[in-house]
Amino acid sequence: MLNLDYSFLRGKIRTYFGNESNFVKELQNRGVEMSAGSFSNKINNKSYFNQAEIVEICNLLGIPIKEASTYFFAEKYELNS
């Protein structure tokens, strides 16, 4: 499984919704079937976001689709000491 960096997505969520719980509730209000646990697994690299989820999240956060890679596909690199 890829180790993806969702820090930009987390920042955008905090800016617009204050926290991830409020964000997930709004996703659910828009018809996205995602629990808080499922979202947590996805944003913590335990499972992947699907295309429909990415599109809806981009719409909700005002992210142009052409910029989705910045928020969903940035690889996290770890420095070896």
Q: Please report whether residue 5 resides in a domain.
A: no
Q: Please report whether residue 2 resides in a domain.
A: no
pLDDT of residue 62: 97
Q: How far apart are alpha carbons 66 and 22 in whole angstroms?
A: 25
Total of domains in the chain: 1
β-sheet bridge partners, residue 18? none
In this structure, the chain runs to a length of: 81
Q: How far apart are alpha carbons 76 and 6 in whole angstroms?
A: 8
Q: How far apart are alpha carbons 54 and 61 in whole angstroms?
A: 11
Q: Please report whether residue 36 resides in a domain.
A: yes
0.75 exceeded by the pTM? Answer: yes
75 by DSSP, 3-state: which? strand
Q: Please report whether residue 50 resides in a domain.
A: yes
Structural domain containing residue 30 = 17-71
Q: Please report whether residue 29 resides in a domain.
A: yes
Q: Please report whether residue 4 resides in a domain.
A: no
Q: What is the pLDDT of residues 7-60, one digit of tens each?
A: 999 999 999 999 999 999 999 999 999 999 999 999 999 999 999 999 999 999
Q: Please report whether residue 76 resides in a domain.
A: no
Q: Please report whether residue 39 resides in a domain.
A: yes
Helix (H) or strand (E) holding 76: none
